[in-house]
């Protein structure tokens, strides 16, 4: 069977995982010409305001791609304190985040572009952190690029003052 697949070049396959009564179907691209996922430019990220303010804001990076393609994006925050350990928070609450559907173009996300060419990215905030607990925040984006087959990317967001630093967390003592 593997020899037949090899001779087909690029193939889109369906893979089924079954456990008990649950079944999960995934698409799988096989071949040597799978397009690379687009890039994240004009990177915004997790803006860590002064620790005393207890406020943050997450601005989505500007997802670009050539050719233009639909992307599905799911943002996450992970918070850590010594007392609670890691807690995942999504836009839909604890352990739940919503998927957002946008169009990645060579110039950025089409839905964010104004007629003058400026970009107004998706944002999540203000994010409030209770001071005095030694809290760390990390932001993550899951992205699915919907080419002829999906390409999945998971990446930490940059964090820091204004979202411009090259660290991956905010620290609130």
Minimum mean pLDDT range among 18-27, 85-94, 128-137? 18-27
Whether the ω angle into residue 48 lies within 30 degrees of 0, i.e. cis, is no
Q: How far, in whole angstroms, is CA 38 from its chain's centroid?
A: 12
Q: For 4-40, what is the HEC assignment?
A: HHHHCCCEEEEEEEEECCEEEEEEEEECCCCCCCCEE
Instruction: Check the CA dihedral 160-164-165-166 and report its sign.
Output: positive
Fold of 35-172: Immunoglobulin-like (2.60.40)
CA distances from 139 to 114, 124, 145, 171 (A): 26, 11, 19, 12
In the chain, residues under CATH classification 2.60.40 are 35-172
Q: Assess whether pLDDT exceeds 60 at residue 18.
A: yes
Supply the pLDDT for residue 168.
74
Residue 96 main-chain phi, psi, to 5 deg: -145, 125
Confidence of residue 73 (pLDDT cuts 50, 70, 90): very high
Each residue of 24-55: pLDDT tens digit?
A: 655 455 555 445 555 666 557 888 776 567 77
Distance, first Cα to last Cα, the chain = 58
- Segment 127-154 shows an average pLDDT of 86
pTM > 0.75: yes or no? no
Max avg pLDDT among 55-69, 75-89, 120-134, 135-149 = 75-89
pLDDT above 80 for 145: yes
Query: Residues 137, 159: contact at Cβ < 8 Å?
Result: yes
* Per-chain mean pLDDT for the chain: 79
Tokens 């409030």, residue located: 128
If you ran DSSP here, which 8-state letter would residue 113 be given? B
DSSP letter assigned to residue 163: G
DSSP 2: H
149: pLDDT strictly greater than 50: yes
pLDDT value of position 103: 93
């Amino acid at each position: 069977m593997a020899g037949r697949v090899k001779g087909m070049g690029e193939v889109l396959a369906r893979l089924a995982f079954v456990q008990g009564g649950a079944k999960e179907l995934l698409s799988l691209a096989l071949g040597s010409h799978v397009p690379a996922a687009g890039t994240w430019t004009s990177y915004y990220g997790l803006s860590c305001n002064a620790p005393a303010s207890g406020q943050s804001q997450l601005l989505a990076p500007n997802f670009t791609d050539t050719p233009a393609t639909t992307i599905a994006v799911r943002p996450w925050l992970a918070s850590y304190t010594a007392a609670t350990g890691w807690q995942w928070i999504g836009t839909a609450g604890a352990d739940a985040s919503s998927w957002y559907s946008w169009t990645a173009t060579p110039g950025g996300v089409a839905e964010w572009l104004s007629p003058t060419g400026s970009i107004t990215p998706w944002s999540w905030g203000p994010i409030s952190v209770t001071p005095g607990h030694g809290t760390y925040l990390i932001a993550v984006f899951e992205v699915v690029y919907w080419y002829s087959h999906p390409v999945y990317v998971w990446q930490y967001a940059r964090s820091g003052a204004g979202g411009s630093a090259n660290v991956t967390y905010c620290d609130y003592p």
